[in-house]
Amino acid sequence: MRRKDAFQEFDSELWLQGAEDAGTQAAFLKKVLGLRKGQTVLDAPCGDGRIAVPLAEAGLLVMGIDHNPYFLDRARARFEEGELEGEFLVGDIREISLIGSFHAAFNWGGSFGYFSDEENLETLRRLARAVRPGGRVLVDQPNREYVLRHFVKERRHGPLTVVNRWNARRERVESRWTLRRRGSKHTYLMAIRLYTPVQMRRLFKQVGLKVEAAYGSPDGKKFRRTSHRLILVGRKAR
């Protein structure tokens, strides 16, 4: 059994703050992944089903994988309430064993880069294996150049304080999250590897994905150096 990574120790509610419009994002994903009603899509990690719900409402068959059972319980409850069909599994995205099962797969919301370089590559490889020949894989990361040009050393949001530093040698933003709530204090450490566009394209090539498009935001704008995000879509050879 793998040891828990730092981000897995976080208070679950920390990952659910600041959600953007799920419907707009789901529509973007459906479009750029070329998905049609009745097709299958893998959401990994899926969190509490925020994106999975509007995808299912659009007629897609969604499977979500996440390490957090609490998130999955929330996702299942949302699907039950909306009378939607979907499947949610507890699992580590580095160990996805599904092969050729989906028309597309995606890693959304800046959830890529929390592992070692080797494990990040393996995560992408597993996503690529999960899709059918001709299927697409999408990965969404913060745009490294934008992050560094507008680097925020400290930010506060209610009871949460986040202190960041850039480790140039490891190419990671290392963060200390401090949560003060109900008279208690909890501190969590986290590091996320930020890849340049060239580095991400290299990863896609290594796992057999040909990059088809690069976007800078979920409104469909093409990626530019000034974009907040780097969203790559790669296609698996037929």
Q: Residue-wise pLDDT tens for the chain (238 aa)?
A: 444 554 455 555 555 544 568 999 999 999 999 999 999 999 999 999 999 999 999 999 999 999 999 999 999 999 999 999 999 999 999 999 999 999 999 999 999 999 999 999 999 999 999 999 999 999 999 999 999 999 999 999 889 999 999 999 999 999 999 999 888 999 999 999 999 999 999 999 999 999 999 999 999 999 999 999 999 999 999 9
> Do strands 154-157 and 209-215 pair parallel, antiparallel, or not at all (unpaired)?
unpaired
Instruction: List the beta bridge partners of residue 41.
Output: 62, 104
Instruction: Assess contact for 135 and 210: CB atoms under 8 A.
Output: no
Domain edges within the chain: 6-153+196-236
Domain at 6-153+196-236, CATH from 3.90.70.10, 1.25.40.20, 3.40.50.150, 1.10.8.50: 3.40.50.150
What pTM does this model have?
0.91
